[in-house]
Amino acid sequence: MTPGALHVPDDNRPEQKGAIMAKAATTRTPGTKTATPKTSMARTTVRSAPKAERRTVAVIIPFYNGARYIERTIRSVQTQTVKVDEFVIVDDGSTEAEAASLRAIAAQYDVQVHRKENGGQGSARNLGVSLTKSAYICFLDQDDFFLRNHVELLVGQIPERDPHFGWVYGELMEADEDGHIVATSIASRYSKHPKSSIEDLLERDMHILPSASIISRLAFEAVGGFDSQFMGYEDDDLFLRIFRAGYTNYFFPDAVTVWCINKNSTSYSIRMSRSRMLYIRKLCALFASDPERRSVYIRDLVFPRFCNLIAGEAFKSIYFARYDHEIRMARHRDELVDMLDEFAGLMAANTRLRIEDRARLRLFRFCLRPRSRKLLVVPYAIARVLRKFGLGFTRRQR
């Protein structure tokens, strides 16, 4: 095994368990306090879960040209301390070579594979749910993997009596694409948990990964599953809709999943940028019946979250071309600059920004519109100096 890599074993032998796995597990011994999940509740009229239901679990993996990682991912499901009831992989229109590799690997582990035309990760997940019947759903991305007690820990946190239960989610570890751990706590570091308000859901990335969650089928189906128009931000959109439908969420502070950062994934592609704009448009329409509330949320939550991000992507596409993913994004520099103009139009149509925010947006557009690296040298140098001294454009503290 490569030094530093988190190994997913083939069986349950004690000597195969890594130190990180032991750390993530919750030990229940006399006199030892176990981690207690936090909860957030929003009430409305929803369907009640059966009181005496057996807690059946389905695991669904959307696959797209990920044969390099899929065996590690499959093993992490099949070596769970609590076995799952259903396990389905949905091939979202991979190349013939990748599809053949997937079929061969899946056959070794006796896993169902269903193939469909390419429609994005959300549509693949929706198909997987439709092919299963279990009361609870766990999703897993093709390049991530579960810790050994993922299912056991999350199922154990499902409340006995909560007719409004939506989902439980846990902490996650971060790793590179080969599974080498770089951090053992991500969600708690960057976001507030559990989610108890629209502010918690909109002001920054949620850091709720489907790969680190167990979701009620009742809640998932009540909101119509993933919105398949998105190829990025479909996770945030799903959990926002489940929350607004009145379902509860619980956060478990132990790591249950390893999130592998892969620079060749959709997250580092123009598809993510396009999907981000779709998501922003959907957020602008979210409170159409309450213009005053919409104006405040767009001004105080949506603008601060996305302005620097969109401008930063446009800047990098013009200024940098060092790595493969930067070279790919540089091919779309015109489109990325146009996205900043579209973002400005959406803000103008849905809210009135503060004077300093309007000035920031105008400055970004003025600097980026020529699409010239030479003209960005001086602004970039000034921005670096300001940042060094803690000045410049930063997120307003709430």
pLDDT of 245 above 50: yes
Q: Take residue 59 and report the two structure tokens written for it.
A: 């695991």
Q: Show Cβ contacts of residue 347 under 8 Å, excluding neighbours closer than 6 positions.
A: 298, 303, 353, 361
- pLDDT per residue as tens digits for the range 1-49: 444 445 444 444 434 434 433 333 333 333 334 455 666 654 333 444 4
- pLDDT per residue as tens digits for the range 159-176: 999 999 999 999 999 999
Q: How far apart are CA 159 and CA 165, in angstroms?
A: 8
The residue type of 5 is A
- pLDDT per residue as tens digits for the range 129-170: 999 999 999 999 999 999 999 999 999 999 999 999 999 999
- pLDDT per residue as tens digits for the range 43-79: 333 444 444 456 999 999 999 999 999 999 999 999 9
Q: What per-residue confidence (pLDDT) applies to 249?
A: 98
Instruction: Name all domains of the chain by residue range, CATH numbers in brackets.
Output: 19-261 (3.90.550.10), 269-388 (no CATH)
The full 3-state SS of 211-280, as one line of letters, equals HHEEEEHHHHHHCCCCCCCCCCCHHHHHHHHHHHCCCEEEEEEEEEEEEEECCCCHHHCHHHHHHHHHHH
pLDDT of 217 above 80: yes
pLDDT of 320 above 60: yes
Share of residues in the chain with pLDDT > 70 (%): 85
Q: What is the mean pLDDT of residues 277-294?
A: 93
Q: What is the mean pLDDT of residues 197-219?
A: 96
Q: Show Cβ contacts of residue 55 under 8 Å, excluding neighbours closer than 6 positions.
A: 135, 136, 155, 158
Q: What per-residue confidence (pLDDT) applies to 84?
A: 98
With beta carbons less than 8 A apart as the criterion, state whether 125 and 225 touch: yes
Q: Take residue 139 and report the two structure tokens written for it.
A: 């999703």
Beta bridge partners of 215: 137, 167
Q: Which residue has the higher pLDDT, 265 or 334?
A: 334
Q: What per-residue confidence (pLDDT) applies to 384?
A: 86
**Whether pTM exceeds 0.95:** no
